[in-house]
Amino acid sequence: MADYENLLIDRVGTDGRVARITLNRPEKLNALSGDLYRELNDVLHDLEADHSARVIILRGAGRAFSAGYDLTPSRSDKNRRYTTQDDKNRTLMMGIRTSMQVITDVQMYFWNMAKITIAQLHGYAAAGGCELAMMADLVVAADDCRIGHPGHRGLGVARNGVIWPLVIGMRKAKELSYTGEYISGAEAEEIGMINYAWPEAELEDRTIAFADRLGIMSADHLAILKVNMNRFYENMGIYSSVRSSTEHDAMAQFTEYSFEWRDRVMEDGLKDALKWRDGAHDGKDSYKK
């Protein structure tokens, strides 16, 4: 398998039957760039064709699984080829929508590929990182991991709805969506968002053991079991719902709150804009106590 700039690939488990993908931008908390997503798409296709890989673990290097989408992409990021402004510098919604659908397509491939997948979360699984993790078949996390989508606070909406309406109850799904708050890995396990929450010191070994347990049967048999299970959720409309969420993410770029966010980024810089966004929510959860 080729070397990648943004990913590390190795094998673990009995006879290497578990493939492991590591998001490898630790200096940026594994922020998800277009380049990273293209590499991930290539790796997933390669591993789907590899019968020796029965289960795939997706994890992050360094202090977090992923802090979300890279808000300061480099000029090399080929996603910039999609036209989002006209010759008068007016923002074009359909250009934004098209660039978002490119990422959605990779997420949906991750959902539907004929391999059992496990997302292994620690530190933060935030915004786009949370979106990506939720598309795995199974999710495990450090019990103190912070999981959520703060991007709902003015940046847009989860372009795949983080599929929360399919995995947790309606009331909690709405609360997390409307507030953009994080929950811990332990709480995520309690509400059924993830499968297991373990102490971070045990996370890697227990994730490998879990994947190895799943990998007892052959890759093709596991694929049939996965496709059979996925069909139930697909028949409930996951494809149309995820596409709709992507459309709404594009539209959300044109709300009053989103315009104020972008103005602050331009005037004050990203760091201060994030302080403004999240500072408005700090200490406002007394209703939980």
Say yes or no to pLDDT of 83 above 70: no
Q: What is the tens place of the pLDDT at every residue in 100-121?
A: 888 999 999 999 999 999 999 9
Residue closest to 242 by CA, chosen among 148, 172, 158, 180? 158
Residue closest to 99 by CA, chosen among 262, 240, 250? 250
Q: Residue 264: what pLDDT?
A: 87
Q: Residue 263: what pLDDT?
A: 85
Q: What is the pTM of this model?
A: 0.87
65 and 36 in contact (C-beta within 8 Å)? no
How large is the average pLDDT for residues 70-84? 62
How large is the average pLDDT for residues 60-66? 98
Q: Distance of CA 100 to CAs 14, 28, 35, 184, 196, Å? A: 38, 21, 14, 28, 30
Q: What b/e string do you get for 104-140 counting C-beta neighbours within 10 Å, with b at 16 or more?
A: bebbbebbebebbbbbbbbbbbbbbbbbbbbbbbbbb
Q: Residue 79: what pLDDT?
A: 47
Percentage of the residues of the chain whose pLDDT score is greater than 70: 92
**φ, ψ (nearest 5 deg) of residue 197:** -120, 125
Q: Residue 74: what pLDDT?
A: 61
How large is the average pLDDT for residues 206-225? 96
Mean pLDDT lowest among 189-193, 213-217, 274-278: 274-278
Q: Which CATH class is domain 7-281?
A: alpha beta
- The band of 12, judged by pLDDT with boundaries at 50, 70 and 90, is very high
Say yes or no to pLDDT of 222 above 90: yes
- The band of 76, judged by pLDDT with boundaries at 50, 70 and 90, is low
Half-sphere exposure of residue 56: CA atoms within 13 angstroms, side-chain side: 28
Q: Residue 1: what pLDDT?
A: 61
Q: What's the rounded Cα separation, in Å, for the pair 237 and 233?
A: 7
Residue closest to 57 by CA, chosen among 124, 5, 12, 1? 12
Residue 15 neighbours by CB distance under 10 Å: 10
Q: Residue 5: what pLDDT?
A: 94
Q: What is the tens place of the pLDDT at every residue in 164-183?
A: 999 999 999 999 999 999 99
Mean pLDDT lowest among 99-103, 169-173, 183-187, 259-263: 259-263
